[in-house]
């Protein structure tokens, strides 16, 4: 059985990941391709518990290295118990964030060494990497304004503007360095325009993978 395609959707807060993942799923289902969606951190019961710990604005500070290790602990669970079995069964997998998110947030944002994150990625998920990374990009001011109506920000959303500027810059640097993996889509437009581009992209990927 041919292994399924693995797609991750990345970007700072407020770029419209959830809405565009719905578009990806619809196009795949219309093409009668089995698709599974998951998210990070999260995707399994234990990984979702880790997600709650990471997002909770509790009294105990979470050191940067602890945050990184918790992210990869959740990722290990998601890969072993959800992503890899689905891919091996021939399903396509769409993941809301993957290891490039750790590169952007924990290296770009927090300042941890990129080599440390790359080493963890190699150890935790080896050759299980996205075939395509869709980077939805928008200025930080726009993204943060979009999420202001969601209610109280979580621990990560509460970071300063400069933090998210570093995250965005790291994402864009990754895309420049690895154009064979990344497709950058301008999310500073109407949702309809962005979804049209996402739809064209997934249709091309489907065409490229037809028997």
Supply the pLDDT for residue 59: 87
Give SS3 for 150: helix
Supply the pLDDT for residue 202: 97
| Residue range 6-208 in CATH 3.40.50.300 | yes
Who contacts 3 (Cβ-Cβ below 8 Å, separation ≥6)? 87, 88, 90
Supply the pLDDT for residue 98: 98
Residue 207 banded pLDDT, cuts 50, 70, 90: very high
Contacts 24+ apart (CB under 8 A), 201-207: 201/134, 202/7, 202/23, 202/24, 202/27, 202/28, 203/27, 205/5, 205/7, 205/132, 206/27, 206/28, 206/31, 206/33
**For the whole model, what pTM was predicted?**
0.96
Distances (CA, A) of 164 to 69, 97, 158: 20, 16, 10
For the chain, which residues make up each domain, given as ranges? 6-208
Q: State the average pLDDT over residues 53-81.
A: 95
Asked if pLDDT for residue 86 goes beyond 90, the answer is yes
Q: Per-residue pLDDT tens for 133-186?
A: 999 999 999 999 998 878 888 999 999 999 999 999 999 999 999 999 999 999
């Amino acid at each position: 059985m041919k292994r399924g395609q693995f797609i991750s959707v990345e970007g700072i807060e407020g770029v419209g990941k959830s809405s565009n993942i719905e578009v990806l799923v619809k196009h795949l289902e219309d093409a009668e391709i089995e698709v599974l969606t998951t998210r990070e951190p999260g995707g399994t019961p234990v990984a979702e518990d880790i997600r709650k710990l990471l997002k909770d604005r509790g009294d105990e500070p979470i050191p940067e290295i602890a945050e990184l290790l918790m992210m990869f602990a959740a990722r290990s669970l998601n890969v072993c118990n959800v992503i890899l079995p689905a891919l091996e069964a021939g399903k396509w997998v769409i993941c809301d964030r993957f290891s490039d998110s750790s590169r952007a947030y924990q290296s770009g944002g927090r300042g941890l060494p990129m080599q440390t994150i790359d080493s963890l990625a190699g150890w935790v998920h080896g050759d299980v990497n996205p075939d395509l990374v869709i980077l939805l990009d928008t200025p930080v001011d726009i993204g943060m304004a979009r999420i202001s109506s969601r209610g109280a920000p979580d621990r990560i959303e509460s970071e300063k503007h400069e933090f998210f500027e570093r995250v965005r810059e790291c994402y864009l640097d990754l895309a420049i360095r690895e154009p064979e993996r990344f497709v950058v889509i301008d999310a500073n437009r109407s949702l309809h325009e962005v979804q049209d581009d996402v739809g064209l992209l997934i249709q091309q990927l489907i065409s490229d993978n037809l028997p």
